[in-house]
């Protein structure tokens, strides 16, 4: 076991030791780890310290836990690493600057996706995008519009065929859209978004990469700025009736 130094915390030492044993096969993948009491005795540590070490291992993808079963050894995968990071990044969404960084990331991904879809989208992929567009139109003015909005953008990103980008989209974009504030006249806002979706689809269908990218860039920029306007500190979104009273 690695000896702890003044700058090394005991949970990190325990986690690194157990991870090394998973890597070299001493603890086979998918086998249960020793009970907490046994780990406490082995490392001369308290239960909270051991539990923190196990949490660190799970965060790094070397541990599967849950379902009332003992923790099991695992090897990191793309999905486990991204899911772990997503939990921490979602905690930052309440911070305006962090949210802006995520929106910027989304804009780079989806603008590139729109361009790539226009250049390389095949018949099946474009048909799926059309289905998502039709469902988006049918949901205008209903509580289901946000779900169909997400589905349209996901169908577009999936055309790239990059599992990393699609995983990032699934984890972060869903959270960003779910946090959109309520708007006055939702049907009008939905119709605007759908109209932009249709313009993106038409550009993809026609193989017009430049237009597809430009429309997507405008679409996401408008959506982001509209959300900022609705969530300015101290502002209370006005309804049509409130505006009439103030006139």
pTM assigned to the model: 0.64
Domains of the chain with CATH codes? 10-76 (1.10.10.10), 84-236 (1.20.120.530)
pLDDT in tens, 149-174: 999 999 999 999 988 888 777 776 76
Give tens-digit pLDDT for 8-30. 689 999 999 999 999 999 999 99
**Exposed / middle / buried, residue 241 (Cβ in 10 Å: 0-12, 13-18, 19+):** exposed
Q: How far is CA 189 from CA 107, 154, 215, 228, in A?
A: 20, 20, 17, 15
Residues of 75-101 as b/e, b for ≥16 C-beta within 10 angstroms?
eeeeebebeeebeebbeeeeeeeebee
- What pLDDT, in 10s, does the model give residues 161-216? 988 888 777 776 766 665 666 667 889 989 999 999 999 999 999 999 999 999 99
């Amino acid at each position: 076991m690695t000896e702890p130094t003044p700058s090394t915390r005991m949970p990190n030492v325990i986690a690194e030791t157990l991870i090394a044993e998973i890597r070299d096969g001493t603890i086979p993948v998918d086998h249960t780890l020793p009970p907490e009491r046994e780990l406490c005795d082995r490392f001369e540590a308290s239960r909270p310290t051991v539990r923190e070490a196990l949490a660190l291992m799970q965060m790094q993808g070397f541990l599967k836990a849950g379902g009332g079963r003992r923790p099991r050894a695992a090897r990191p995968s793309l999905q486990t690493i991204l899911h772990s990071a997503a939990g921490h990044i979602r905690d930052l969404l309440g911070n305006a600057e962090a949210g802006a960084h995520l929106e910027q990331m989304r804009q780079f991904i989806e603008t590139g996706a729109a361009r790539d879809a226009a250049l390389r989208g095949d018949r099946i992929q474009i048909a799926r995008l059309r289905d998502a567009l039709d469902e988006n139109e049918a949901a205008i003015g209903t509580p289901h519009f946000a779900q169909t909005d997400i589905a349209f953008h996901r169908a577009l990103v999936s055309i790239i065929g990059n599992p990393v980008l699609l995983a990032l989209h699934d984890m972060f974009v869903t959270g960003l859209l779910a946090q959109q504030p309520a708007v006055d006249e939702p049907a009008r806002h939905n119709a605007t978004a759908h109209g932009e979706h249709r313009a993106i689809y038409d550009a993809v269908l026609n193989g017009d990469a430049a237009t597809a990218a430009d429309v997507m860039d405008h679409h996401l920029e408008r959506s982001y700025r509209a959300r900022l306007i609705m969530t300015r500190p101290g502002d209370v979104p006005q309804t049509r009736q409130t505006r009439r009273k103030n006139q």
